[in-house]
Amino acid sequence: MKLEELRGKLVYQGLLLGGAALLTSALLSFFSQATEADIKAAEAADLKQSLSQVLPGEYENDLLKDTVTLTGKKGEVLVYRGRRAGKVEAVVYQVIGNGYAGNIVCVMGVSREGKILGVRVISHKETPGLGDKIEPAKAKWIFDFDGKFLGDPPADKWAVKKDGGVFDQFAGATITPRGVVNAVKGGLEFFDTNKAQLLDEAGTKP
């Protein structure tokens, strides 16, 4: 084979390999973007489902887009707002309690009047069969917060019964419900402190 022919074949093969590599890279990028979009869509659907559990009723706005970030005792708090006739009627945000095995992450909905619309635990590592009674599928304990507000019960009664409060503790697992009660009470205090901004009465509408 002549040197010129060999060089030509090498150039051709190089171009072919380069083209294949570019095509592979483009396909990987396409599928990566498609997968990322699917993941984001699934996460948004899960988030909406979680919000709906503590924010009953219909709202005219997209809660995922109507948000405000404020500073709480444990850092920044992302708040989702539900509107009717342009007015914020309810808000949803996360609160974190100290459990037996780590953080207990809850999401809570609060009406513009400051009443709890619902509380759900979305993440915890508590002991199965004991601390997991904070899950609605395991017990109805979490529903005891519905309708409560600062003042009902009185501030000194926002505790489990073992600590002189009104909320039940679990047999063999007092730390878990105590952590949730403290987190929810803190969430109501956060609402009370930041009410004007949460309800968009300070001109924070996006």
Q: What is the pLDDT of residue 116?
A: 97
142-178 residue pLDDT tens: 999 999 999 999 999 999 999 999 999 998 889 999 9
Sort strands 87-98 and 103-111 into parallel, antiparallel or unpaired. Answer: antiparallel
Mean pLDDT of the region 34-60: 74
Q: What is the mean pLDDT of residues 73-92?
A: 93
In the numeric block, which tokens belong to residue 173?
A: 């697992």
- Provide mean pLDDT across the span 68-95: 94
Which pLDDT score is estimated for 61?
93
- For 38-49, what is each residue's pLDDT tens digit? 666 665 566 677
Residue ranges covered by each domain of the chain: 1-54, 67-198
Instruction: Using alpha carbons, select from 50, 104, 103, 105 the residue that is nearest to residue 80.
Output: 50
Model-level pTM? 0.77
Share the mean pLDDT of the chain. 85
> Is residue 153 reached through a cis peptide bond, with omega within 30 degrees of 0 on the bond before it?
yes
Read off the pLDDT of residues 98-118 as tens digits, 9 standing for 90 and up: 999 999 999 999 999 999 999
